[in-house]
Amino acid sequence: MSLLKKADEVRAGFFNTLQEDPARVDLEALRIEYLGRKGKVATLFKQMGQVAPEERAAFGQTLNQLKQELTEALDERESAAAAEKHSTEEAKIDLTLPGIASPAGTYHIITQSLNDMIDIFGRLGFSVAEGPEVESEWRNFDALNILPDHPARDMQDTFFTKSGHVLRTHTSPVQVRLMQSQPPPIRSIMPGKVYRNEAVSARSHAMFHQVEGLYVDKRVTFGELKGTLELFCREYFDEDVKLRFRPSFFPFTEPSSEVDISCFLCHGKGCRICKQTGWLEILGCGMVDPAVFEAVGYDPDKVTGYAFGIGIERPALLRYGIPDIRMFYENDLRFLRQF
Amino acid sequence: MIISYQWLRDYVDFDLTPAELCEKLTNLGLEAYVASQYEPFLNEIVIGEVIECVPHPNSDHLSICQVKVNADSIQQIVCGAPNVAQGQRVPVALQGTTLPGGLEIKPVKLRGEKSNGMICSERELGLSESHDGILILNDTAPVGGSFVDYLTGGDTAIEIDLTPNRPDAMSHIGVARDLAALIKQTLAKPKPEFRESAESTDSSARITLEDTHGCPRYATRVIRGVTIGPSPKWLQERLQAVGLRSINNVVDAANFVLMETGHPLHTFDYDQLAGHEIIVRRAYKNEKMTTLDSKERQLNEEILLICDGEKPVAIAGIMGGENSEVMEQTTNILIESAYFDPVTIRRGAKFLGLSSEASKRFERGADPSGVIYALERLTGLIQELAGGQVSKGVVDAYPKPISPAEVRLRYKRCSDLLGVDIPAETQRQILTDLGMETLESSDQETAFRIPTFRPDITREADLFEEILRVYGQHNVPVNTHFRVTSQALGKSSNKFRNALREIMVGMGYHEIMSVSLVMENQHPRLFGDEKPVELLNPSSREMTTVRSSLLPGMETALAYNRRHRQNNIHLFEVGQVSTVDKNSDTSARESTHIAFLQQGLVQEKTWLTPEIESTFYHLKGDLSKLWRSLTGDDPKFVTVDHAILKHCYGILLDGEIVGYLGELPENRLENLDISGNVFYAEITTAALEKAYWNREKSFILFSPYPVVERDLSLVIDETISHAEIQKVIEEKGGNFLQESYLYDLYQGNTIATGQKSLTFRLVFQTLDRTLTEREVDQAFDRIVWSLKTDFNANLR
Ligand SMILES: [Zn+2]
């Protein structure tokens, strides 16, 4: 029998099997039988040697065509079968069953708030500076122009350690450390925990968090302070938020301001949270007092600067409608999971 | 402090509603808002006129009144008060009003007669305890008008929240001065007027200042033959408007001048002053005196006293004495107008726990130059109200006059600092409007004499603040064109902590934040003998020391959540801890720790997957993942016998133990009232952070050739640890062994007692070719041989 004829037989045998009842044909077995390494087509290729050299090219071409033809036919049948199988299986799968999630934790809301602030001020060019929570009285008070008779230095307001130091009442001592350790310019924020000797209640706590900022350079202006805080508040609270700067008093800044923002709950119309005023008192700021510069060894005639401070808990209480400040530290999972 | 809207008009002319006034004052730095002095329900009380009053037919004490409550409404009200009568103007609560105590007014029938409201007594209105009968108003009270307006005379109380640097603004004149500067009006200070008698003050009273530091200035006058009596209505109203009670004409006059000028004054009954003299001295040790409020006060040697020839008659600047008080029978009075040292008064008031209108002003700083004006103003007022002969001249003990400060202002510097160009003329005008006098002046700068009522202004920066206050902070343009000197942010610890948090959150842990003040017995001393930082003045028994470990907070959070029926708990905290360190200038050393714990299930059962209980190995796995993510390396463990944690591993970094992981012992769980196993780890992060920043990330070539996997199942003595076997596998596996890990562990029926079965998966591969079976077999056989000889292991 000529090889060409054998090739025709292989083809005929293949298609006969393929056209049998589609449900019963084992396509994978068929593939191995015909197209496998030891399959019928491969066997034909092995017999190439028996063909006269002048016919070899034509025969090779015939075999290649055969191989391609069988491969395509099989592929087509397989994909048809797969599609059919898929659709029957699909009908059996109940996609409405509940999903299975990988476990996921949460960041504490205070961490989230701090990081939001760090991000915003980071884009405004502020680096992050940190310092210890147990501080010297000098850095926490004297260097900041809070003189020994100032009421803030009372035992009723400040925690003292038995060794005669204080738990910092603000993160401002980090400003002092920073200025003492490097010459201007300085453009940093200081996030962290602070402590006040207060009774713990729904509205106040002996421990809370604060972010302070400091910019010291030649010719820093009050106008820039306004700009910086406005950008911050628009991004942190609400794009349409309005700011109100009111003169105030802090020992470490002169002039000083208290900043109100338009209430983000009622948008300035007046509600229970803003006590019908439309404003929320949110941060304190001012131009660094020359006495502070003198304390850290900067020349107040050569540099100016601004400083600001914002609490974390209070805006968060207002923003998320949290009724009790103690909830931040109670660590109830039902609370933590909400943020 | 309360300021009366109407009273303020006496000193400055303005055309502002109370709300507008408050906004202006707030912009000036005098944070002001309209005070609601009265309970809201009072706004619903109206003025009615009793147009008819007849006895109730079925009662011997009730009356049936027809009350006109506005031009076209007459209501029938049954009233039980004995003093009700036709023609009276009375306060009426109508339907819908709820009185204090919850009594809601609604139409009712009393003994068969309709009653549509209630005529109120002072007590029912919450004004006083008086319940003798209904409150009867003046005949001029407008029928249908608001009772609150009647009470306030149409005035509005303005509450001002003053910053501590502004003693000058603690008065109507002080507030008016700021307002006048803002709205460009002149300040009208009343001129004192009185007639002097022939008798000189000198001959009537002698002043001795034994302590000129505590009392730099003391001035006085004597008025003889006054008639003590009630104050006129205008004065009572003024005082009522600012929340003061009327006492008598002389005391009221002194309070009036205090509220007007801000200068505290005192009046003595002249005849009670032994020797008709005043001596100012410090109190003696253990000295006592009884103050106006009838309380005996124990004094200390720092307290400044006003004495007569024999005894103390007042605590200087804080409160008068009972023994020299002006009473109904007083006829001769001595007026005190003095200036006391702020620190002396502050300390005295603090020691005594006594704060008065006077002490509040003296401790912030009264005006030494305002002494005479206040004295003369009070003298005139007393003579006007109580008559009497005013002694001639003032005795003014002022041995060392306090000289006003002089401060130089550089105009350009002010504009530069504020970031807005304020013309020199504007700056100068603002300051002179506020009472500052110009001394020498040029285009660039001016020296100002600062009035003594502004003790807060001593430096140029203080003048900048004044200029900005009046110019308006809101008028400074917002500048968002920053000149930023960029600094490399560098390796901030905050970034490291966030990297750490990210991994923990990714593994399903919830971040907590604990109060970092704990009890002195809440120091587990995980790392040895940490000495806690103790507070000198803790505010509660629960918060007496600074935490030295995160464990107490973690345990508290765990116990809290268990009490609230949360069972599967993964928590972590990153935070500062403190310990005593004598070498630090704060005597404390602080470090950052991370702690995490697991309890309950690491995976809850679902319809598809089984539940998985938390074990030590889950904690260890999470710790290892954290370590690899942060440092790129596996953690190194060392078994330790820990004082607190059981089944405990120490974590080694650079040869030091930097943390522990283990299980909380039963006694701690009992204290927390918790059942089950709790796995806990705490690490001090300094070295870890260093490793994090030093981690070198570089590409390592991986092989394109297929891996060959072999499973090694062996039965081995149960005392041989996994680590020992793993070590042999790694040592004997040769260069081709890429990876080997335990994936099955079995002990039980099919294994001999004292033995265990382990299955390791070994993965072989090399960079430059496909490994042959023979090469893999050789490595595998080396491992098996070693395990057999070292541990007597058998292949399964
Ligand atoms: Zn609001």
pLDDT tens per residue, range A110-160: 999 999 999 999 999 999 999 999 999 999 999 999 988 787 788 889 999
* Same-domain status, A284 and A159: yes
CB contact under 8 A, B489 and A128: yes
Task: Give the residue on B whose Cα is nearest the Cα of A138.
Answer: B586
- Interior/surface letters A24-55, b for 16+ CB within 10 angstroms, e for the rest: eeebeebbebbbeeebbbeebeeeeeebeeee
pLDDT classification of B140: cutoffs 50, 70, 90: confident
Element (H, E) at A123: helix A109-123
Residue A18 resides in a domain: yes
pLDDT in tens, B274-285: 999 999 999 999
* Same-domain status, A36 and A121: no
The predicted pLDDT at position B486 comes to 66
Give the one of A163, A198, A332 whose C-beta lies nearest to B539's C-beta: A198
Residue A229 resides in a domain: yes
Number of domains in chain A: 2
Ordered strands of the B656-663 beta sheet: B510-511, B569-580, B588-599, B678-684, B656-663, B646-653, B636-640
CB contact under 8 A, A255 and B514: no
Asked if B578 contacts B547 with a C-beta cutoff of 8 angstroms, the reply is yes
For the segment A224-247, the average pLDDT, to the nearest whole number, is 95
pLDDT in tens, B641-672: 999 999 999 999 999 999 999 999 999 999 99
The answer to whether A136 faces chain B, any CB pair under 8 Å, is: yes
CB contact under 8 A, B474 and A231: no
Q: How many CB pairs under 8 A join A and B?
A: 257
For the segment B594-602, the average pLDDT, to the nearest whole number, is 96
For the segment B511-539, the average pLDDT, to the nearest whole number, is 94
As a whole number of angstroms, the distance between CA B537 and CA A206 comes to: 12
The predicted pLDDT at position B44 comes to 86
The predicted pLDDT at position A56 comes to 82
Dihedral over alpha carbons B206, B212, B216, B219 (to 10 degrees): -10
CB contact under 8 A, B418 and A328: no
Instruction: Using DSSP bridges, classify how beta strands B333-339 and B265-269 pair: parallel, antiparallel or unpaired.
Output: antiparallel
Look at residues A128, A74, A227 and name the one whose alpha carbon lies nearest to residue B497: A128
Burial of B61 (0-12, 13-18, 19+ CB in 10 A): exposed
**HSE-CB for B176 with a 13 A CA cutoff:** 25
Whether A197 shows a pLDDT value over 90: the answer reads yes
Task: Give the residue on B whose Cα is nearest the Cα of A325.
Answer: B515
Length of chain A: 339
Residue A184 resides in a domain: yes
As a whole number of angstroms, the distance between CA B507 and CA B502 comes to: 9
The predicted pLDDT at position B576 comes to 96
The answer to whether A60 faces chain B, any CB pair under 8 Å, is: no
The predicted pLDDT at position B631 comes to 95
Percentage of chain A with pLDDT > 90? 59
Cα of A155 to nearest chain B Cα, Å: 7
CB contact under 8 A, A290 and B417: no
Asked if A62 contacts A4 with a C-beta cutoff of 8 angstroms, the reply is yes
The predicted pLDDT at position B734 comes to 93
Average pLDDT for chain B: 93
Tokens of B371: 């002494």
The predicted pLDDT at position B420 comes to 96
Give the one of A105, A159, A230 whose C-beta lies nearest to B508's C-beta: A105
For the segment B460-478, the average pLDDT, to the nearest whole number, is 96
* Same-domain status, A48 and A196: no
Indicate yes or no: pTM above 0.90: no
CB contact under 8 A, A224 and B587: no
From A29, A56, A91, give the residue that closes a domain.
A91
For the segment B199-218, the average pLDDT, to the nearest whole number, is 95
The amino acid that residue B131 corresponds to is H
Whether B166 shows a pLDDT value over 90: the answer reads yes
Tokens of B780: 């595998």
CB contact under 8 A, A100 and B609: yes
Sorted by sequence, the CB contacts under 8 Å of residue B243 that are 6+ apart come out as B2, B37, B157
The predicted pLDDT at position A46 comes to 85
Question: Which residues of chain B neighbour A111 with C-beta distances below 8 Å?
Answer: 501, 511, 513
Residue A100 resides in a domain: no
Q: If you write DSSP's letter for every residue of A262-305 in order, what string do you get? A: E-TTTTTS--TTTTTSSEEEEEEEEEEPHHHHHHHT--TTT-EE
* Same-domain status, A188 and A127: yes
Residue with tokens 């003032």: B394
* Same-domain status, A77 and A149: no
Look at residues B396, B383, B151 and name the one whose alpha carbon lies nearest to residue B257: B383
Whether A58 shows a pLDDT value over 90: the answer reads no
Average pLDDT for chain A: 91
Range of the domain at A20: 3-91
Tokens of B495: 């970034």
From A30, A61, A91, give the residue that closes a domain.
A91
Whether B250 shows a pLDDT value over 90: the answer reads yes
* Same-domain status, A289 and A217: yes
Question: Which residues of chain A neighbour B182 with C-beta distances below 8 Å?
Answer: none
As a whole number of angstroms, the distance between CA A65 and CA A48 comes to: 15
Indicate the range of A97-101, B132-136, B178-182, B602-606 predicted with least confidence: B132-136
Look at residues B652, B621, B535, B630 and name the one whose alpha carbon lies nearest to residue B574: B630
User: Among the residues of B98-168, which ranges form H helices?
Assistant: 147-152
As a whole number of angstroms, the distance between CA B726 and CA B712 comes to: 12
Asked if A144 contacts A172 with a C-beta cutoff of 8 angstroms, the reply is yes
Query: If DSSP codes are grouped into helix, strand and coil, which group holds residue B346?
Result: helix
Residue A141 resides in a domain: yes
Residue A97 resides in a domain: no
As a whole number of angstroms, the distance between CA B768 and CA B771 comes to: 9
Query: ipTM for the complex?
Result: 0.85
CB contact under 8 A, A105 and B479: no
From A35, A64, A91, give the residue that closes a domain.
A91
Asked if B626 contacts B499 with a C-beta cutoff of 8 angstroms, the reply is no
pLDDT in tens, B522-535: 999 999 888 999 99
Q: Would you call the peptide bond into B91 cis, given omega within 30 degrees of 0 as the criterion? A: no
For the segment B491-517, the average pLDDT, to the nearest whole number, is 96
* Same-domain status, A225 and A306: yes
* Same-domain status, A32 and A120: no
Cα of B597 to nearest chain A Cα, Å: 13
Mutate to test the interface with A, among B166, B457, B479 (most CBs of A within 10 A): B479
Residue A104 resides in a domain: no
A272 C-alpha to ligand 1 centroid (Å): 6
* Same-domain status, A130 and A78: no
The answer to whether A245 faces chain B, any CB pair under 8 Å, is: yes
The predicted pLDDT at position B139 comes to 83
CB contact under 8 A, A161 and B535: yes
Instruction: Using DSSP bridges, classify how beta strands B288-290 and B296-298 pair: parallel, antiparallel or unpaired.
Output: antiparallel
Instruction: Using DSSP bridges, classify how beta strands B395-397 and B406-410 pair: parallel, antiparallel or unpaired.
Output: unpaired
CB contact under 8 A, A224 and B576: no
Can you give the CATH number for the domain in which A325 is found?
A: 3.30.930.10
Question: Which residues of chain B neighbour A128 with C-beta distances below 8 Å?
Answer: 489, 492, 494
Cα of A96 to nearest chain B Cα, Å: 13
State residue B239 phi and psi, 5-degree precision.
-65, -40
The amino acid that residue B687 corresponds to is A
Residue A101 resides in a domain: no
Sorted by sequence, the CB contacts under 8 Å of residue A16 that are 6+ apart come out as none
Question: Which residues of chain A neighbour B462 with C-beta distances below 8 Å?
Answer: 254
Tokens of B753: 């007692």
Angle ∠(B664,B667,B669) on CA atoms, nearest 5:
55
Whether B136 shows a pLDDT value over 80: the answer reads yes
Distances (CA, A) of B591 to A138, A172, B513, B581: 22, 20, 16, 12
As a whole number of angstroms, the distance between CA B113 and CA B117 comes to: 12
pLDDT in tens, B554-593: 999 999 999 999 989 999 999 999 999 999 999 999 999 9
* Same-domain status, A139 and A277: yes
The predicted pLDDT at position A1 comes to 59
Task: Give the residue on B whose Cα is nearest the Cα of A122.
Answer: B489
* Same-domain status, A144 and A257: yes
Query: If DSSP codes are grouped into helix, strand and coil, which group holds residue A14?
Result: helix
Question: Which residues of chain A neighbour B508 with C-beta distances below 8 Å?
Answer: 102-105
Question: Which residues of chain A neighbour B556 with C-beta distances below 8 Å?
Answer: 331
* Same-domain status, A234 and A301: yes
Tokens of A256: 């000083």
Tokens of B47: 């003025």
Q: What is the 3-state secondary structure (H, E, C) of A38-99?
A: CCHHHHHHHHHHHCCHHHHHHHHHHHHHHHHHHHHHHHHHHHHHHHHHHHHHHHHCCCCCCC
Q: Would you call the peptide bond into B55 cis, given omega within 30 degrees of 0 as the criterion? A: no
The answer to whether A208 faces chain B, any CB pair under 8 Å, is: no
Cα of A179 to nearest chain B Cα, Å: 15
